[in-house]
Structure 1
Amino acid sequence: MGASVRTNWLGGVIYRLFWILLPCLIAGFIFGQIAWALVAGLSAYLVWNLRQMLRFHQWLTTQPNEPPPETSGVWGNIFDSIHHLQRRNNRMRTRLQLVIDRIQASTAALSDAVVMIDSKGKLEWWNHAAERMLGLRAPDDSGQYVTNLIRDPRFVDFFETGNYRDPLDIPSPIDVSTWLQYTVTHYGEGERLMVVRDVTRLHNLEQMRKDFVANVSHELRTPLTVVVGYLETMQDSEEPINPRWKRPLHQMQQQASRMQSLLNDLLMLARLETGDEVTEETAVDIDLMLIGIRRDAQALSGERNHQITLDAASKTRLRGSEMELRSAFSNLVFNAVKYTPDNGEIHIRWWQDDKGAHLSVADNGTGIAAQHIHRLTERFYRVDSSRSTNTGGTGLGLAIVKHVLLRHQGKLDIVSAPDKGSTFICHFPAARLV
């Protein structure tokens, strides 16, 4: 189609030139000045084209929305084609503007704050909820850096790292009693869309749950200690115990010890959840810590005869809480002992590379199906409740591990498959190394 249009235009130009030069050629023959006659004809044609170009320029610059000037030939086709393109673009622009207006109107009606941020981190647009929840003001804040208006260090770190896989929950910049959840999504060429939701009710419920668990655990600790003390006194008494009571007393002591372990884990978890960062940090010798944990794990294994090996070639020390790190690492190793069959193999490894430090605990146990792996760090989650009952697990070990790693800027990877064993890997950033 484009070739036919070009052929028509070329034919039109040749046709017009023919009828301009033919009279000039005849007049040149009559007066004996053929060359000058042709020059005069071509000059007239050039003047006419220049005039059409001038009209075309004036029309585009001064009256682009008006109908084009009346003319004929190629220039008439050009004027008409440009005018049709303008009308089509205007219709498309109108439709797009209607769509944009509808999107902005629907977004403005949302109860959640929606903020559009350009590739440089500057505010482009926001809805009414953002003004109410974040204190943004139009048009004064337009073009401002978002980190200049939301100055919480946690938000600044969250926004600048660019890792938006998990949302951020922090107090509102205008009301500390209101908790907001920030979710950021990349789009376009480096632009970001930030959605802010009020999660005050969920935060308060979560805090009530934490306070309830912590208070109940603390209140149960004292009477349970009394019960355990009396049971030990009765069993260690020099007076003979009725044989009928030996087995009940032994079972009572076992269950009381298990309950004590559960309360200790609950209190540990409650303490870990109260703060986001470690307050008392020291340089921890992980290799020496792992030697002690391996010794304790071998004692826990006892007659089950597990082969527990340790590879701690790196002497790198880790900056953090020794008590919390010991609790996390021992939970991983002791879990491997509990859930690995007799005579199984458990391998502990501590190493360092350019990404930081890493601890892995691998076993050749029964393994875990893929659908359970993402939920293993939930409190009280059990892949098989009967296994936890037999091994005396509380269901809180991996939840403690997760919170300890979060407080040390680490993360936990779990690799497992049924009948192929499991590997738990703790990753610590290079900034944590001493």
Structure 2
Amino acid sequence: MMSFQNRILRIYSILIGLLLAGVGLVLGQLYPLFVDNTANSLVNSKVEDISAYLSTTEVPKDIQNQIIHKVSFNDHIIESTDIQQTFWMFLFIILFLAFLIAIIIGASVFKKYAVPIEHLTQTAMELAKGNYRVRAFEDDFSGMSKLSKSINILARNLHDISVMRETEKERLKTLIENMGSALLMIDRNGETTIANRSFLKLFQLKFEDVDGKLFRKIGLPDQIEEFIDKLFLTESSNRQQLNIKKNHFTYYMDAYGAPVIGEHGRWLGIVIVMHDITELKKLEQVRKDFVANVSHELKTPVTSIKGFSETLLFGAYKKEETLLSFLEIIHKESNRLQALIIDLLDLSKVEQTGYEISKQKVYFSEIINSSIELTIHLADKKNITIETNIDEQVVILGETNRLKQIIVNLIANAINYSLENTMIKLSVYQNKKYGIFEIEDQGIGISKVEITRIFERFYRVDRARSRNSGGTGLGLAIVKHLVEAHQGYIEVHSEEGKGTIFKVYIPIVNT
């Protein structure tokens, strides 16, 4: 593409050429008059000189006239021809030199003014393309300095605005992508325009599956599609709790939808934010179950104590056998009630935020042996053999009493849920980070569905057996919290009818 300077120089050259050509034509029209006058003056001067000379000679008059006439005619032609040739040559040279001088002057002037203009034009075009880093050359000699400074100020402002816009865009993108709630934006045509990471993860979708697609064709649950339809119909904000079933599991979502309004009240679409409240629902259900279970567990011993005490007050105390039997029952139920209250207080304590234990170096074998001594009588009643495989060198960090509470609970549970004349295996070993206590029984086992719930408060695999054994239903809940307080964790492997394996991981002492 020809530059601005070359284009204007070419136009200038054409105009100068036409102007000089016009001057040449005008001079060409005036030339004959000038030539004739000049030629006549010269010829007349020569004729007069010849006539004066001939008058001094003896040449006849007729011959003199013929000579003068011929000389006059020939000289006129010769003079006219010479003058024309000289004039045209001179005129061409003058006009050509004038053209060259005009072109040289014009090129110099255009270079001074056209180049800055061309540079400013290119700068403006780059700005229009979005290249806000380009700058114009500020030349005070071209007279374009004010325009250059203005364009540079504009470029800097546009650059600052673009940087701010990109920063805000990146912040918004980061916020949308990393927010815990699922977000979906749909335009007025029903096509999805924004779907964040939480939304895609919740419904196991990819961005390519939803971008620009109609919301009905991306495989959303029926409840969400109905909620979206409601928003489109009412064109007003709405909130609704949705139950979404996926992989045989129910998710509870608190969905909030609102219309997106642009400038001049133009309706652009809708935006939906979905908060996962499944855990809140679980906690709410746990709270309800806890209240119901506590009430039930307290009701039984209290009812027994009240009933037997009332019977004694109405005269049964007079019979010694009845009195002793009733007092024994009251004592048993009061012990059960006391155990329940102690476990509740214990659980409440370990569940408190910031609960800490006093850690010290402890040989895991000492904890195991001490716990076996406390529970061996329970195993003897059912003729259960306890087999041990203990690494005496495993040293862990923990609180002795709390560790003993963990092990005693697990051994007691294994005994309670095992059949008579069976075996319980206890093992202690370690890996690079943890000391591991493993207990395996040959009891009734736990189903896969129940394994996820055995650490809930008051949850029992076999309610009749655990209640008859005197258990409160809080033991495993306490065990889980105490293990976590030691920065450890617990694993469960079980098969119905074959038995259960509990593995407790407690951090070892770094040597």
TM-score class, shorter-chain normalisation, is 0.3 to 0.5
Q: Using structure 2 for the length normalisation, give the TM-score.
A: 0.40
More helix by share: 2
Higher relative contact order (CA 8 A, sep 6+): 1
Q: Using structure 1 for the length normalisation, give the TM-score.
A: 0.46
